[in-house]
Chains A and B, each alone.
Chain A
Amino acid sequence: MSSRRRRCKRQLIKFTQHIARLITGTLNSDNEDEEQESTTVRYHPENLEQLQSQTHFSRQELQLIYRGFKNDCPSGVVNEDTFKNIYALFFPLGDSSKYAQFLFNAFDKDKNGSLSFEVSIFNLIILLRGTTEEKLNWAFNLYDINKDGQITKEEMLDILKAIYDLMGKSIHPRLKEEAVRQHVRMFFQKMDINQDGVVTIDEFIDCCQKVWLVFIFN
């Protein structure tokens, strides 16, 4: 009962305010600005020396990466849209939004919707300077969309479709629906040792280490 009365009172107050505004002629937009709070977030990364010791990037590399990072994300965190825009620049011919989304989810381990500089750097360290096993772990994490420890055929199909989307339409030969599924089948043939329809982390790592061609990414 009291809540209803409170609500009634609140409505009445709002109504009288509205009438008063109507009579005195204040515009709506003047008042709305006061109600809005500033929602911008400012985020400061860790100390440069600390980052340098935690990761193994050189000082110049960290500086370069941070400068670019800060230039495009002045608030200090990358959100998903910015991430997608960046990848769109690298793959202008195709549609990179799906793959960027998967990557973002893989980067963003604690699922808070934005990547801080440290998180990005730690991910990069694994990817660029980590051991093969760490890289494979990361790749498995990327493929496992729902993070349940298994890669199913549907997840793989999604990932592969996203990768093919990166190419765009102007490719040769023309992309057929079947090609992607064929690719998925080949992948599962290679990886799924016990043929149970899903790929677990151990199968993945075992298999990839056998066929992985180590290449140099510096």
Chain B
Amino acid sequence: MAAGVAAWLPFARAAAIGWMPVANLPMPVAPTNKNKHQDELIILNVSGRRFQTWRNTLDRYPDTLLGSSEKEFFFNEETREYFFDRDPDVFRSILNFYRTGKLHYPRYECISAYDEELAFFGIIPEIISDCCYEEYKDRKRENIERLMDDLEDNKDSKLPNMTFRETVWRAFENPHTSTMALVFYYVTGFFIAISVITNVIETVPCSSMPNQRDIPCGERYTEAFFCMDTACVMIFTVEYLMRLFAAPSRYRFMRSVMSIIDVVAILPYYIGLVMTNNEDVSGAFVTLRVFRVFRIFKFSRHSQGLRILGYTLKSCASELGFLLFSLTMAIIIFATVMFYAEKGSSSSKFTSIPASFWYTIVTMTTLGYGDMVPKTIAGKVFGSICSLSGVLVIALPVPVIVSNFSRIYHQNQRADKRRAQKVQKARLSRMRISKCGSSSAFLHSKRNGLNQSLELTGSLEEDQQLKKTTSLLESQHHHLLHCLEKTTNHEFVDERLYEQGYLQTALQNFPSQSPSLSSEEGITGTCCSRRTKKNMQPLSATHTHNLQELSALHIQCGEQQPLNTSRSSLNLMSDESGSLNCKSSGLVTTAIISIPTPPSNNSRASPDAPPPPNPDAPPLPNTGTDVVKISAL
């Protein structure tokens, strides 16, 4: 729930009264209400349709276009309104987001149009509330797949500079790319069919002489069948080895289902070759022949439908499991009942409960062979109940399986659940980043606040500039957090640096400088505090250097998530770099900020800021990144 924070700010400041008596340090000065303008209505003209709202409503999300000063670019002086040349229908949902804090995705809207509007107004799609988020993600996924399908159709030409291995792999995966691959595809298919038919015919009895008993063809024409088998296995082996050679990741290929089927298909032959002489294991050898039937599964490479069937069964595992479980329960119940019902009658086939299982299964699946029939009246009654319930139990999960199959068949294979997991995680992490945004905004302004208080001779303009960039709401909120710090005599630290610092202190028992020293004197801005800060810096700078490898992970994260991409801080960056350059000494770093400071100041830069692993990273104010955060305020 995104509260209209401006309205609740008095409550929060009231809470601060509770801290006063317990605080041991003097509280910072409250920000004065500079701009006393009352809450005003602003008019947003979106392609002719006028929307009106309070200015405070828009200020709730200062990281979006409407909430920040970016909307001033769209201000029309003559008509005193903000004009946006965009879709008014989509704008309705966007404005509702400001009003209610929830972003909804209207179902009739095109997904890419909606995405564009969100990007224009600087709102991340992850904010879409849970009621509409599923729909949004589904539509987006469909769209992406459709685009990918289109791309694949267009992708005819071979990519240049593919190695032989890559070419072979590509030929195997997409047979229609080259004629050679197509030929190989059909040849293997043909031989699979031949092999399967051979296995079948092997067992057909073909009698040579009328008085001899029928012997299967396999034993009659042993050599012919053996040659056929050898040829097929040759082809399969060659194919398997070529695939193994061409696979980009051999380990993953060997683990995949298709390759296991391949191996199982050709292994019996080789085992048979090895073990023909040994009489003891010939029995086992015979059973191994059963596995030759697995060659039929090799067809699944050739048939999309077969693959989909396999995938359906896999994805309906829970329904199948339920079916199996309920059937088992019912079988056991009815078998027991039938056994005891039929116990009395003589010459009953129901000799034991496991023997009754067969009757129960045959009855429940409405097969009714008739080899076991109840004779007593009780047995007949229970038998009829059994067959009726069998119909029900089996009929229930089947439609689910069927609908699953048709869904997958129509929409190609998708790893739905796997991707949903990843998406959910990514969504939560983006929202967490935006939450961190608000805290980092505080840390940032704290630094600037100290900056401005230490600059005793700072010019008035710079101060005003710095002050203007944070809205009144933000400054009051930051003041509140500052009071809290004073009450508890601890300072807020950036999470990542907190962990880093923890690592440091854990590994090296360095007596940590008491920050109370710096915080107490920070406000008063004496020279001593500056010196203490300077003394603090080189010590911990060596720490960071020594532990650079250990905290490399943290640094990496720090690099990838530039903290200062909020629009307000873009302005701040330019100001602060200017002001920092003016002051020769006494860089204010409260040892907690991890922004990539300009290289000229790096030597004295914030000690716990990750020493830039790539010192050649230009200190441009992050215009390249598109990370837009919504502050939770």
Residues of A participating in the B interface, judged by any CB pair closer than 8 Å: 60, 64-69, 71-72, 82, 85-87, 89-93, 99, 102-103, 106, 120, 123-124, 127-128, 135-136, 138-139, 142-143, 156, 159-160, 163-164, 166-175, 179, 183, 186-187, 191, 204, 208, 212-213, 215-218
The answer to whether B21 touches A208 (Cβ under 8 A) is: yes
Whether the pair A60, B39 counts as a contact (CB closer than 8 A) is: yes
Q: Is the Cβ of B56 less than 8 Å from the Cβ of A139?
A: no
Which of B15, B18, B515 is A172 in contact with, Cβ under 8 Å? B515
Q: Is the CB of A139 within 8 A of B17?
A: yes
Contact mask for chain B residues 1-38; partner A; CB cutoff 8 A; 1 contact, 0 none: 11111111011111111111110101101101100001
**Which listed residue (B11, B488, B515) contacts A163, Cβ 8 A?**
B488
Q: Which residue of chain A has the shortest Cβ distance to B591 in the bound complex?
A: A172
Residue B632 lies at the interface, judged by CB distance under 8 Å to chain A: yes
5 A–B contact pairs at CB < 8 A?
A68-B4, A71-B100, A72-B8, A82-B1, A187-B21
Decide yes or no: A64 and B39 within 8 Å by CB, A90-B480, A124-B11 being known contacts: yes
Residues of B within 8 A of A169 (CB): 498
Q: Which of A60, A68, A69 contacts B38 (CB 8 A)?
A: A60
Q: Are A103 and B490 in contact (CB under 8 A)?
A: no
A130 to B56 CA separation, bound complex (whole angstroms): 27
Which residues of B497-536 are within 8 A (CB) of A?
498, 501-502, 505, 512, 514-515
A90 touching B477 by the CB < 8 A rule?
Answer: yes
A120 touches B11 (CB 8 A): yes
Q: Within the assembled complex, what's the spacing in Å between the Cα atoms of A218 and B475? A: 13
Complex: A50 Cα to B430 Cα, angstroms = 46
User: Are A172 and B4 in contact, with the CB atoms below 8 A?
Assistant: no
Contact between chains at B498 and A166 (CB < 8 Å)? no
CB distance from B58 to the nearest CB of A (A): 14
Which residues of chain B are within 8 angstroms of A66 by Cβ–Cβ distance?
Answer: 7
Answer whether residue B93 sits at the interface, using C-beta atoms and an 8 A cutoff: no
Chain A residues near B492 (CB-CB < 8 A): 93, 167-168, 170-172
Contacts of A120 in B (CB 8 A): 11
The answer to whether B491 and A163 touch across the interface, beta carbons within 8 angstroms, is: no
Residue of chain B at shortest CB distance from A127 = B14
The answer to whether B39 and A167 have CB atoms under 8 Å apart is: no
Q: What separation, in Å, do the CA atoms of A162 and B192 have in the docked complex?
A: 72
Given contacts A85-B3, A139-B21, A208-B20, 17 further A-B contacts (CB under 8 A): A60-B39, A64-B56, A68-B4, A68-B7, A72-B7, A90-B5, A92-B439, A103-B15, A163-B484, A167-B490, A170-B498, A171-B488, A172-B501, A183-B22, A204-B21, A215-B27, A217-B30
Given the known inter-chain contacts A120-B11, A160-B22, A172-B491, please indicate yes or no for A89 contacting B17, CB distance below 8 A. Answer: no
A163 neighbours in B (Cβ, 8 Å): 18-19, 22, 484, 487-488
User: Would you call B230 an interface residue if the criterion is a C-beta within 8 Å of the partner chain's C-beta atoms?
Assistant: no
7 shortest interchain CB distances as A-B pairs: A68-B7, A68-B4, A127-B14, A170-B498, A171-B490, A172-B493, A90-B12
Q: Which residues from chain A contact B591 at a C-beta distance below 8 Å?
A: 172
Residues of B within 8 A of A167 (CB): 484-485, 488, 490, 492
B592 at interface, CB cutoff 8 A: yes
Is A136 in contact with B21, judged by CB distance below 8 angstroms?
yes
Contacts of A213 in B (CB 8 A): 26-27
The answer to whether B17 and A127 touch across the interface, beta carbons within 8 angstroms, is: yes
Q: Which residues of chain A come closer than 8 Å to B495, judged between CB atoms? A: 170
Asked if B22 contacts A71 (CB within 8 A), the reply is no
Evaluate contact between B2 and A174: CB separation under 8 angstroms: no
Compute how far the CA of A159 lies from the CA of B633 in the bound complex, rounded to whole angstroms: 26
Main secondary structure on A side of the interface with B: helix
Q: Which residue of B lies closest to A121 (CB)?
A: B10
B-chain residues with CB within 8 Å of residue A93 when the two chains form the complex = 439, 492
Task: Name the B residues within 8 Å of A139 (CB-CB).
Answer: 17-18, 20-21
Q: Which residues of B contact A72 (CB under 8 A)?
A: 1, 3-4, 7-8
Cβ of B126 under 8 Å from chain A = no
* Cβ-neighbour of A89 out of B27, B489, B633 (below 8 A): B633
Nearest CB to that of A191 among chain B residues? B21
Residues of A contacting B6 in the complex (Cβ-Cβ under 8 angstroms) = 64, 68
Q: Is the CB of A128 within 8 A of B10?
A: yes
Chain A residue nearest to B491 in the complex (CB): A172
| A160 CA to B56 CA, complexed, in Å | 34
Q: A136-B21, A164-B488, A172-B592 are in contact. Are A85 and B15 (CB under 8 A)?
A: no
B488 touches A135 (CB 8 A): no
Instruction: Evaluate whether A69 and B488 lie within 8 angstroms (CB atoms) in the complex, with A87-B15, A103-B15, A218-B30 already known.
Output: no
Given A167-B484, A171-B490, A172-B498, residue A92 in contact with residue B438 (CB < 8 A): yes
Q: Which residues of B contact A191 (CB under 8 A)?
A: 21
Tell me the nearest residue of chain B to A180, going by C-beta: B488
A136 to B592, CA, bound (A): 35
Report the bound CA distance from A120 to B33 in whole Å: 23
Tell me the bound Cα distance from A164 to B480 in angstroms: 14
Q: How far is the CA of A93 from the CA of B19 in the complex (A)?
A: 18
Verify if B494 is at the interface (C-beta below 8 Å from A): yes
* B606 CB → nearest A CB, Å: 13
Contacting pair B5 A89 (CB below 8 A) = yes
- Given that A166-B484, A170-B494 are known contacts, is A86 also in contact with B3, CB under 8 Å in the complex? yes
User: Is B435 an interface residue, CB under 8 A from the partner?
Assistant: yes
Q: A86, B11: Cβ atoms under 8 Å?
A: yes
Specify the chain A residue showing the minimal Cβ separation from B4.
A68
Bound CA–CA A28/B613 (angstroms)? 65
Q: Tell me how far the C-beta of B512 lies from the nearest C-beta in chain A, rounded to whole angstroms.
A: 6
Enumerate B463-501 residues with CB–CB distance to A below 8 Å. 477, 480-481, 484-485, 487-495, 498, 501
- Alpha-carbon distance A217/B576, docked complex (angstroms): 29
CA distance A210 to B282 in the complex (A): 102
Whether A135 touches B7, Cβ cut-off 8 Å, given contacts A163-B22, A170-B493, is no
Assembled-state Cα–Cα distance A218/B479 (Å): 13
Q: Once the chains bind, are A69 and B15 in contact (CB under 8 Å)?
A: no
Question: Given A68-B3, A93-B492, A172-B490: A87 and B12 within 8 A (CB)?
Answer: yes
- Chain A residues whose CB sits within 8 angstroms of the CB of B498 once the complex forms: 169-172
**Residue of B15, B29, B481, B484 contacting most chain A CB atoms (<10 Å):** B15
Distance from A61 Cβ to chain B, minimum over Cβ atoms (Å): 8
Given contacts A71-B7, A90-B480, A172-B491, contact A217 B22 (CB under 8 A): no
Task: Tell me, in angstroms, the Cα distance from A167 to B99 when the chains sit together.
Answer: 29
Residues of A within 8 A of B26 (CB): 213
Closest Cβ of chain B to A25, distance in Å, is 15
For residue B100, which residues in chain A have a CB less than 8 angstroms away from its CB? 71
Shortest Cβ distance from B54 into A: residue: A67
Q: Verify B20–A212 contact, CB threshold 8 A.
A: yes
Q: Nearest-CB distance from B524 to chain A (Å)?
A: 15
